[in-house]
């Protein structure tokens, strides 16, 4: 398995009470799978994705990527894993406002210490895929919200990660852009074999994935008959 979670639990301790955002989740995702997780707001989808991506530490349980417990790694090693193996897509525009589109695109490559002509070429190609090659020198503030989201989606593929963790990547996008993004995800899954975990509200989008899961009150369920 490429991704495996074992009894994954995340508890937030507030002043007077505790909130169990993710409860005892056991998930196994094979390499090249395209799965979706649906659920209401506050059901724990985003927290689960962050736990898998090593952005937050579980209270209990383990996350294994390629058989490695990611929380046994040092900060340097975990950061390297995020940089090389995982591409994130967030619910919001996640571009660095002080950098141009080109610099934002090249950031993952720069963080792994390699920015050359090959990376420049890939950045341009990815921007072409999201229809924004002409905006390469623009700053995020010069783009619309939707355009910023598309650049961030393209950036997630920059280092050719094995895993894409997409948290509502099409939220706030119009239907046409939503379809375009979905097409891109499917293409990357099929052509490059990227493993994708898509968190979405949309059952229509989820229906297009190979496996569908539902998150409810922090627990994860498999759904066979989804629609």
Q: Is residue 208 close enough to count as binding other proteins by CB under 8 A?
A: no
Q: Is residue 110 close enough to count as binding other proteins by CB under 8 A?
A: yes
> Contacts with other proteins in 59-98 (CB under 8 A)?
75-76, 79-80, 82-84, 88, 90, 94, 96-98
Among 4, 25, 38, 53, binds other proteins (CB under 8 A): 53
Bridge partner list, 222: 213
Q: For other proteins, which is the closer residue by CB, 79 or 208?
A: 79
Helix (H, G, I), strand (E, B) or coil at 6: strand
Q: Is residue 56 close enough to count as binding other proteins by CB under 8 A?
A: yes
14 C-beta neighbours (distance < 10 Å), count: 7
Helix (H, G, I), strand (E, B) or coil at 201: coil
Q: For other proteins, which is the closer residue by CB, 104 or 212?
A: 104
CA distances from 101 to 2, 82, 196 (A): 31, 21, 24
Q: For other proteins, which is the closer residue by CB, 20 or 208?
A: 20
Helix (H, G, I), strand (E, B) or coil at 172: coil
CA distances from 108 to 43, 120, 168, 216 (A): 30, 12, 21, 33
Q: Which residues bind other proteins (CB under 8 A)?
A: 47, 50, 53, 55-57, 75-76, 79-80, 82-84, 88, 90, 94, 96-99, 103, 106-108, 110-112, 115, 155
């Amino acid at each position: 398995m490429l991704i495996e979670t074992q009894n994954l639990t995340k508890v937030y301790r507030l002043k007077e009470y505790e909130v169990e955002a993710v409860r005892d989740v056991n998930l196994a995702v094979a390499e090249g799978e395209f799965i979706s997780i649906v659920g209401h707001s506050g059901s724990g989808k985003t927290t689960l994705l962050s736990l898998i991506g090593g952005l937050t530490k579980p209270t209990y349980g383990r996350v294994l990527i390629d058989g490695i417990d990611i929380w046994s790694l040092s900060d340097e090693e975990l950061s390297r894993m995020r940089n090389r193996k995982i591409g994130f897509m967030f619910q919001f525009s996640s571009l660095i406002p002080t950098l141009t589109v080109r610099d934002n695109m090249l950031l993952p490559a720069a963080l792994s210490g390699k920015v050359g002509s090959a990376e420049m070429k890939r950045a341009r190609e990815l921007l072409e895929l999201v229809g924004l090659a002409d905006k390469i020198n623009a700053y995020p503030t010069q783009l619309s919200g939707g355009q910023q989201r598309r650049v961030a989606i393209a950036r997630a593929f920059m280092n050719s990660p094995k895993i894409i963790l997409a948290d509502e990547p099409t939220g706030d996008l119009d239907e046409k852009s939503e379809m375009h993004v979905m097409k891109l995800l499917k293409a990357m899954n099929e052509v490059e074999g990227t493993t994708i975990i898509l968190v979405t509200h949309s059952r229509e989008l989820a229906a297009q994935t190979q496996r569908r899961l539902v998150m409810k009150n922090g627990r994860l369920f498999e759904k066979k008959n989804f629609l």
